[in-house]
């Protein structure tokens, strides 16, 4: 009864955190939105961080996204207001990672570094100073290009980040790596762990629950997503192709995006497509074949993008739950209260997350 009351208490909060399109519909940003659902329950129940699995989308040669050269990830802010707003939580988010993986060293087994660009001039920002709001954004010539640009914005849902290092042969934009943060939608209490999730994407990690083997560990129920009914009606009445239906949209984020529905891309097992200058590539996901990690900072909780029409105190009414006994060779046809359990928010870096970093950025001395 106590758990049900806790769940009901945060329903109004969850209603306001539905997914939003990635910036400019650019799929470098897809599936990276994190929300703060289930926070009251998380306060009541804590969970360990012992999972061992991982998933990443940068190590395979067919992918234009790869690991950062020499493990060095440098960032800069667009302007002073961005630094003032985000310097402290970004430092704290990186500390969440280093508390688990340590600093780069032979002892810690990795060479990953995340640091602000070392400016020599007094103006320490990605772009030159703008005197007025209508002045053009001009890249700071002191910055080589390819750094992560920290963007304070009102144009995205909450948080988005690019995935891994984008090869300059694929995208020559000096600002091709970005972390977008919407000030209006931030829950200050959880901003550090949410930015830590986005840092995982910047380093090349993918959502754990989007692995192709995930059905043996968790269950995704598309009909429990916010706006499911609206897009079901849309594809039934105005399909863009005769083969399109709601099941296809639910299971293929690339098709769902054609209808303006972006939530499935954050849950879909289908590799996401990216197209630029007439070329098309896939985000090919690589993962630990022996372990799955519900404890990963990259795993969604049960309530993200939940429909406000559902009873979110019931496991059958949320988008994502874990099977009680996993891996399950033959997953059940439907969720019950007895064969599944909640997936809580992850507030720390898991063992599996640390293994992924050491896999992608092994110490080379």
- Residue 131 in any domain: the answer is yes
Q: How confident is the model at residue 225 (pLDDT cuts 50, 70, 90)?
A: very high
Q: Give the domain extent around 159.
A: 2-359
- Residue 365 in any domain: the answer is no
DSSP reduced 3-state for 278: coil
Q: How confident is the model at residue 361 (pLDDT cuts 50, 70, 90)?
A: very high
CATH number of 69's domain:
3.40.390.10
- Residue 211 in any domain: the answer is yes
**C-alpha dihedral sign at 328, 333, 338, 343:** positive
Q: Do 177 and 149 contact (CB within 8 A), yes or no?
A: yes
- Residue 364 in any domain: the answer is no
Q: Which of 75, 78, 76 is nearest to 138 (CA)?
A: 78
> Where would I find the H helices in 23-79?
39-44
pLDDT in tens, 320-332: 999 998 899 999 9
- Residue 116 in any domain: the answer is yes
- Residue 215 in any domain: the answer is yes
Q: What number is the average pLDDT over the span 40-45?
A: 30
pLDDT at 75 over 50: yes
CB atoms within 10 A of CB 215: 15
pLDDT in tens, 258-285: 999 999 999 998 777 777 777 777 777 8
The confidence score (pLDDT) of residue 20 equals 30
- Give the chain's domain count: 1
Q: Which of 105, 101, 14 is nearest to 49 (CA)?
A: 101
pLDDT at 1 over 90: no
- Residue 254 in any domain: the answer is yes
What's the whole-number average pLDDT of the chain? 83
The CA-based dihedral angle spanning residues 336, 345, 185, 227, taken in that order and rounded to the nearest 10 degrees: -20
- Residue 320 in any domain: the answer is yes
């Amino acid at each position: 009864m106590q758990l049900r009351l806790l769940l009901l208490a945060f329903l109004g909060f969850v209603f306001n955190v539905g997914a939003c399109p990635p910036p400019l519909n650019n799929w470098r940003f897809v599936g990276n939105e994190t929300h703060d659902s289930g926070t009251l329950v998380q306060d009541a129940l804590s969970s360990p961080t012992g999972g061992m699995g991982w998933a990443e989308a940068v190590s395979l040669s067919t992918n234009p996204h790869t690991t950062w050269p020499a493990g060095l990830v440098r960032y800069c802010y667009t302007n002073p207001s961005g630094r003032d707003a985000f310097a402290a939580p970004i430092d704290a988010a990186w500390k969440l990672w280093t508390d688990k993986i340590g600093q780069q060293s032979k002892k810690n087994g990795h060479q990953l570094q995340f640091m602000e660009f070392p400016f020599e001039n007094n103006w320490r920002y990605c772009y030159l100073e703008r005197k007025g709001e209508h002045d053009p954004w001009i890249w700071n010539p002191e910055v080589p290009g390819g750094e992560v640009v920290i963007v304070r914005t009102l144009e995205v849902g909450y948080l988005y980040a690019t995935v891994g290092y984008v090869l300059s042969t694929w995208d020559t934009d000096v600002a091709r790596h970005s972390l977008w943060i919407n000030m209006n939608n931030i829950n200050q209490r959880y901003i550090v762990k949410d930015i830590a999730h986005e840092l995982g994407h910047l380093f090349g990690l993918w959502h754990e629950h989007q692995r192709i083997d995930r059905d043996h560990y968790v269950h995704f129920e598309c009909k429990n997503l916010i706006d499911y009914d609206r897009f079901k009606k849309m594809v039934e009445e105005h399909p863009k192709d005769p083969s399109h239906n709601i099941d296809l949209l639910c299971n293929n984020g690339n098709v769902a995006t054609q209808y303006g529905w972006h939530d499935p891309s954050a849950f879909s097992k289908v590799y996401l497509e990216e197209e630029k200058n007439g070329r098309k590539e896939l985000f090919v996901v690589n993962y630990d074949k022996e372990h799955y990690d519900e404890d990963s900072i990259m795993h969604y909780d049960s309530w993200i993008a939940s429909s406000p029409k559902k009873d979110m105190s019931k496991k059958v009414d949320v988008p994502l739950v874990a099977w009680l006994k996993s891996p399950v060779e033959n997953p059940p046809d439907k969720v019950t209260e007895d064969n599944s359990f909640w997936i809580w928010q992850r507030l720390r870096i898991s063992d599996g997350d640390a293994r992924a970093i050491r896999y992608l950025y092994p110490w080379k001395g």
